[in-house]
Amino acid sequence: MADLDTDGAAPFPVANALTVALAGDVADRMSADYAALDPQAHAVLDCWFGAPDSPDFGGPRKLWFTADDSFDASLRERFGTLIDAARKSQLDSWAATPLGALSLVIVLDQFSRNCHRDTATAFAADRKALAIAQQMVASGADGLLPGVHHRAFAYLPFEHDESLASQHESLRLFKALAAEPGGASYYPFAVRHAKIIERFGRFPHRNAVLGRESTADEIAFLREPGSSFQSRAKKAGRR
């Protein structure tokens, strides 16, 4: 919000000072949040976003949306047991803080897809991931995350859900994120996901692994180039 300056003098500095103070307060909270994290939750975030003191922290990372069998294998070795524990609600205490909740979403929504690629188990934790994401948004915890990419992964469970309500929420969240520096790339994928759900009521590219029979319309759609978000095993792409 701009300061009124009817005399032509320099704007009153309260807004700038308040912005700096608030930024410092958020940084302090994030530092405390990191310090309070369960060591395994901390390891999840460091693996996915980089350590807070690393040069690539806060920026986009190629590993997120690029197929890499060796990376998938390393996730299975390091974090495979966490997925089952998270699905069984054994890690729910992580959700007590914004970063802890995000780490739980990463395990349920991302690690599950990497570690169980091309199987029904890849999507088995989606409902729980969505519930945590909903709680984060409702409580405002998403706004306390370090940056746009952290928030984007808190929102992906909405994009991955096969309901119109979740897709509409995904569009709302990612449209707002697109207005912030570094957040624009996520919105077009949110639109693509939403259009598929509006058309079919589900993601046809999941039908085979979930044992669902595809309709003639879905089969025709799946023959279209770029129709599947589950092609990361062959090329870069969204899930």
- Please report, for the domain that includes residue 67, its CATH number: 1.25.40.10
The pLDDT > 90 percentage for the chain reads: 71
- Rounded CA-CA distance 30/57 in Å is 14
Give a three-class secondary structure readout of 145-198: CCCHHHHHHHHHHHHHCCCHHHHHHHHHHHHHHHCCCCCHHHHHHHHHHHHHHH
Any domain includes 236: no
Any domain includes 105: yes
User: Which structural domain, as residue segments, surrounds residue 115?
Assistant: 14-222
**pLDDT: which is higher, 91 or 25:** 91
Q: Are 86 and 129 in contact, with CB atoms under 8 Å apart? A: no
Any domain includes 4: no
**pLDDT of 99 higher than 50:** yes
What is the pLDDT at residue 164?
Answer: 98
Which pLDDT band, with edges at 50, 70 and 90, does 27 fall under? low
| Total domains in the fold of the chain | 1
Give the pLDDT confidence of 33-84 residue by residue, as tens digits: 788 899 999 999 999 999 998 888 888 888 898 778 999 999 999 999 999 9
Any domain includes 27: yes
- Rounded CA-CA distance 185/181 in Å is 10
- Rounded CA-CA distance 230/218 in Å is 15
For the entire predicted model, the pTM comes to 0.84
Any domain includes 51: yes
